[in-house]
Amino acid sequence: MLRKVGLIPVCLGLACFTAGLFGALHNQVSFTAGPAYFHDLKFAQFRIPASTPDRWGAAQVGWKASWWMGLILGTPMAAAALRHRAMLRVFCTGIFVTLCIAALCATGGLGLALWLGEPWIASNLRVENIYAPGFLTAAAMHDASYLGGGLGLLVALVVTWRRR
């Protein structure tokens, strides 16, 4: 058991790296959908210099905005994986399940925003400001991916629990 406890920092490091990489890649898609979301909000919010190439800046925003989700999602997964003999393998399975669900939710958020259209989103969510085209589409994709991370954690915990 003591050896397994020593794997917890490894698991959390892996979760943080994976979450950061997911965010960097995710932002390549969301930047395509709505560059205004980054130019009007995210680059300033994350202090990305104006001289930074757009795609690299979007990747940096994605990393900074999501690596910490690895701690939040990885901690309960590592605790649940402690019960298993193959702790690291079970933990990695949980990470994979969470990533897949987060990606599916992000894709669903993007698809829903494209299908409904930004005027519908703005009027039904009572968005006060008028944003550039693509802003709300990228924002919907981002919000859906965070929701997917939480949902993915729940599913991963159930999968981990049932593997015992």
Distance in angstroms (rounded) separating the CA atoms of residues 71 and 15? 7
Q: Determine the pLDDT at residue 90.
A: 94
* Mean pLDDT of each 10-residue bin along the chain, 164 residues long: 83 97 98 94 96 98 96 95 90 96 97 90 72 87 95 94 76
Q: Determine the pLDDT at residue 112.
A: 94
Looking at residue 34, the DSSP 8-state letter turns out to be -
Q: Determine the pLDDT at residue 22.
A: 98
Q: Determine the pLDDT at residue 130.
A: 64
Q: Determine the pLDDT at residue 164.
A: 66
Distance in angstroms (rounded) separating the CA atoms of residues 134 and 138? 6
Distance in angstroms (rounded) separating the CA atoms of residues 23 and 103? 10
Q: Determine the pLDDT at residue 160.
A: 87
Q: Determine the pLDDT at residue 124.
A: 75
Q: Determine the pLDDT at residue 146.
A: 94
Three-state SS letters, 121-138 = HHHHCCCCCCCCCCHHHH
Q: Determine the pLDDT at residue 108.
A: 97
